[in-house]
Amino acid sequence: MPVILGIIFAVTFTLAWLVPGNPLESEDRNVPPEIQEAMLRQYSLHDPWVFMQEYLVGVFTRADFGPSLYYRDQTVSSILAAGLPISVVLGVAAMIVACMVGVVAGIVGALRPRSWLDHSSMLLALVGVSLPSFVTAAALLILFAGILNWVPAAGWGHPRQMILPAIALGLMPAAYIARLVRIGLIDAMGSDHVRTARAKGLSRHQALLRHALKLALLPVLSFLGPAAAATLTGSFVVEKVFEIPGIGRDFVNAVLNKDQFLILGLVLVYSSMLIVFNLIVDVAYAWFDPRIELD
């Protein structure tokens, strides 16, 4: 984990430093030249190596991600504390939508292979895979908030405001999960222990749900790690569409304004979350498949 985070930090730091511009020169801040020079020296923005050393010392000794160079009188930690819980809740809601829709669609397709239900579910999965989240978000916003007026168009704070963004983020991973579950179930139904269960009197539905489904979910577990990454990064655009006050908006602004402290802080926090989530997925393998042993 430290090695992976180190590589991610090095790449992000290099790219952030190469971005042209100066966050202190923006028209919004209107900082006098002499104060700009003092702040550049205070935060070692003249020397990338000194900046990197001081930043890492602050992160690992004081858990201090530094100040925001764009948002006045705010630190990166305060920005994370305000926006990260919102983005996490949205991401979790989207993954719940993805798992529920994907597993149900996959089971329906596996129970009736090559039927109209199977073809319909796989067609929807194909559409879900093909459409990026911002297109889905715009379509849902126009239909359900603009035309039908069933849910609020934007904002955060009410459960109804979570519905459209969670669906917009969850449809793409749901499509992949549906395809994985369908293929896994069809393969698992031909395994020896499932055929033995059928021979003992279990119906096809019972054998599928009691024995085959557990094996079919193994590929889904492998997919959840990359899916979480795609959901978290996709939330940046979706949060912008639905005006959600998560850290996606802050990340976009940080890149546009070359706010190095905020860029590095957000990337480190997101990367740590994704690595931890992948470790949890690896541990969950042992529960789903007893043949897998953890060293």
pLDDT tens, residue by residue, 118-155:
788 888 788 877 888 878 888 888 888 888 888 888 88
In whole numbers, what is the pLDDT of the chain averaged over residues?
81
Q: What is the pLDDT of residues 257-274, one digit of tens each?
A: 888 888 999 888 888 888
Which residue stretches of 242-259 are H helix?
247-256
Q: What is the distance between the alpha carbons of residues 261 and 51, in angstroms, rounded to a whole number?
A: 10
The alpha carbon of 263 is separated from its chain's Cα centroid by a whole number of angstroms, namely 17
In this predicted structure, what is the pLDDT of residue 289? 61
**Boundaries of every domain in the chain:** 2-62, 83-288
Minimal CA–CA distance to 138: which of 232, 242, 236, 233?
A: 242
pLDDT tens for 157-216 read 888 888 999 998 888 888 889 888 888 888 877 777 777 777 777 777 777 777 777 777
Which is more confident, 45 or 91? 91
List phi, psi (to 5°) of 191: -75, 165
Which residue shows structure tokens 């577990």?
221
CATH fold, domain 83-288, is MetI-like fold (1.10.3720)
Tally Cβ neighbours within 10 Å of residue 270: 18
Three-state secondary-structure class, residue 67 = strand
